[in-house]
Amino acid sequence: MNDILSDTIARIKVAQQQHKKRVKCFKSNLVCNFLRVLWDEGFIEGYEEEIKEIEIILSYQENESPTIKELKRCSRPGCRVYLSIKDLHQLTKNTYPNYGIHILSTNKGVITSQKALEIKAGGELLCFIA
């Protein structure tokens, strides 16, 4: 499998369309770190690591609509998207406040764009989530 993160994002989207509470995906360090950010930001209820898989516990609002409204992969294996600190300032300035977050892979780990600005680190733009 070329892109485990894209597969994870697709599985989350399909599971939410079917109103499932849990979904399994392949385990990798990138996926674990990505899910940690989603959990920290309140987009999922949690995740449980197994030997080769991860079970994601999805979060829904009181009216049964998914907490994740939009989840879009930005950088792909065939077309990587890297952002400098200057690019991050422009990106966060053009994003509506409290609308969503961008997740980056930096040399400091997988973090949100706001955290990347705080520590002044650019990196690969993995996805956008709202």
Count the neighbouring beta carbons within 10 Å of the beta carbon of residue 63. 5
Detail the DSSP E strand segments found in the chain.
Answer: 22-26, 44-49, 53-58, 71-73, 82-83, 101-106, 109-112, 123-129
The pair of three-digit structure tokens given for residue 34, joined into one six-digit string: 């990505």
User: What is the assigned CATH class of domain 71-129?
Assistant: alpha beta
Look at residue 95 in the predicted model and tell me its pLDDT: 67
Q: Which fold has domain 4-58?
A: Ribosomal Protein S8; Chain: A, domain 1 (3.30.1370)
The residue extents of the domains of the chain are 4-58, 71-129
Tell me if 4-58 shares its fold with 71-129: no
Can you tell me the distance from the alpha carbon of 9 to that of 70, in angstroms, rounded to the nearest whole number? 10
Q: Is 30 exposed, middle or buried (0-12, 13-18, 19+ CB in 10 A)?
A: middle
Closest CA to 6 of 33, 26, 36: 26
pLDDT digits (tens, 9 = 90+) for 40-96: 999 999 999 999 999 999 999 887 889 999 999 999 888 999 999 999 888 877 665
Query: CA 117: distance to chain centroid?
Result: 17
